[in-house]
Amino acid sequence: MLEKNMSNPTVYVFTCSNPEFNGFSLKEDGTNLPTLASTSDCRWTLVREVPMSRIHLQPFARDAQVAVVNLKSRGYHIARNTAVVLNLLRFRPST
């Protein structure tokens, strides 16, 4: 179930039930995302789709270039959340 347009494939961004990790997959269902050895409680949940580029992956992956390389070579990438990512995921309405 890889994206058909491989010149600009879609990357599916997943969160883990352990908020420390994000998963990235070329498969919409994320079936190629591994079970993490450091946490037994990780269920992957699809949160968004982005084009495969460093710019689009940067808010979600500490090193977006490594993420792109891993996606191209094995079809998935796992990243630990950074402080920037955690702040991006929290939205506080202005009052």
Q: Domain spans of the chain? A: 10-89
Q: What's the mean per-residue pLDDT of the chain?
A: 79
Over residues 31-42, the pLDDT tens digits come to 999 887 556 677
Is the pLDDT at 94 greater than 90? The verdict is: no
Is the pLDDT at 6 greater than 60? The verdict is: no
The 8-class DSSP code of residue 83 comes to: H
pLDDT at 3: 40
What one-character-per-residue DSSP string does 58-77 give?
Answer: TTT-SSHHHHHHHHHHHSEE
What contacts 71, CB < 8 A, 6 or more positions away?
Answer: 9, 11, 24, 25, 26, 52, 77
Label residue 24 by pLDDT band (50, 70, 90): very high
Q: How far apart are CA 26 and CA 50, in angstroms?
A: 10
